[in-house]
Structure 1
């Protein structure tokens, strides 16, 4: 078990490196080297696009979300070429991030109708941790435990609000901040929101007995 821990941690941090740190580092590295804003943003946008293509090739499956991201990247590049405005690339990235905002809206809407969406999302984690019997016991609490229902609604509201806030903040940064300041602010937005959210999630689920 100890032997495989390091590779697993490395795989867990790989998406963070590819989707967050590498594009940001490349952009500011190119700017320090004197590269124009438009070209620096273009090359930094190529990393997420290449990552999506590699995932499509490796899985050999038509992934709607991946195709949508590629389409948004392509549209942003075309508009940027036509306008010659580097901010167009930032706005394209922000609108791609609005997919997370839609997820936030879905989470918030589910709180008032039926079972909150976070309960559906948690199923695979609960099953992995507690097995089929544990999953049945956990989901069964919804019908007989009012505190359990309230707690899951609170958590779903928190995650939905955080996802929507992140999407709207990135959109505001893309439109309002100077071009050289916007990439750092946009990339830092979710970690700044997510860290206190995760801490709240861990503390709340432990305090209210929501874990499987």
Structure 2
């Protein structure tokens, strides 16, 4: 595995796994579900602060999850329902999924917009992207497929834990919801790599046939 991929996986495990580990530790010490979930979320906040201060690198995604956690914590304290705290990753996944699918419905897949923005400083690359977008239907379809599949996967990842959290015990869902999120991200990443490799193979095959 490439070093960057290892760091990405390690960061994902830390961000997703730390709250669950702290939750189960607190439960083992006899804490109630709501304060145990709050402790897990606060542990994630401390990690975000540590990375930002000591390593001088703010993880925007983890910071956003932390903000969502604080909002859901306030709602949980007001309602007395600890299950609300288990929806923090689902809120983010659902928002991202809706954004991806919605961008396809309005005609400009957000994955294309992101690639275009990454090449904003390179005028030649940006012009090539725009020319291919307007002239090549297969090129446009590629970004539609990427955005729709990733968006659908994130929407499923958002809905499933919210449904399960009211069907299963909190102690079960604290770990299961984390596992579901990690598995979803890994499966989507594997699919994206497979899809890109398949497109490259098809492009090479077309060039070979043209010769």
Shorter-chain TM-score bucket reads 0.7 to 0.9
* Structure 1 equivalent of residue 41 of structure 2: 45
Provide the C-alpha distance between the structure 2 equivalents of 1:156 and 1:9, rounded to a whole number of angstroms. Answer: 21
Select the residue among 137, 146, 163 that pairs with 1:146. Answer: 137
After superposition, the C-alpha distances for 1:46-93 in whole angstroms (9 at most, x for unaligned) are 1222244456667699x8994x6555433443444455x4xx333134
Contact 1:101-1:167 within 8 A present in 2 as well: yes
The correspondence for 2:18, drawn from 17, 22, 29, is 22
Aligned residues: 198
Relative to the length of structure 1, the TM-score reads: 0.73
Q: Which moved more, 1:152-161 or 1:135-144?
A: 135-144
TM-fit CA distance, 1:185:
1.5
Query: In structure 2, how many angstroms separate the alpha carbons of the residues matched to 1:23 and 1:69?
Result: 12
Matching of residue 205 in structure 1 with residue 201 in structure 2: no
Distance 1:194 1:75, change over 3 A: closer
Cα displacement (A) at 1:149: 1.1
Indicate whether 1:119 and 2:115 are aligned.
no
Change (3 A) 1:54 1:80: same
Shift of 1:37: 2.7
After superposition, residues 1-212 of structure 1 pair within 5 angstroms as 11-54=7-50, 66=63, 69-82=65-78, 85=80, 88-95=81-88, 97-123=90-116, 127=119, 133-134=124-125, 136-209=127-200
User: SS of 1:180's equivalent?
Assistant: helix
Structure 1 residue 203, shift from structure 2 partner:
1.8
Contact 2:104-2:148 at 8 Å conserved across structures: yes
Contact residue 65 and residue 92 of structure 2 kept, 8 A: no
Report how far residue 28 of structure 1 moved: 2.0
Query: When the two structures are superposed, what TM-score results if normalisation uses the length of structure 2?
Result: 0.73
SS in 1 for 2:170: coil
**8 Å CA contact retained: 2:90, 2:161:** yes
Question: Deviations along 1:106-140, whole A, 9 cap, x unmatched?
Answer: 11111132321111223466x5xxx7645543443
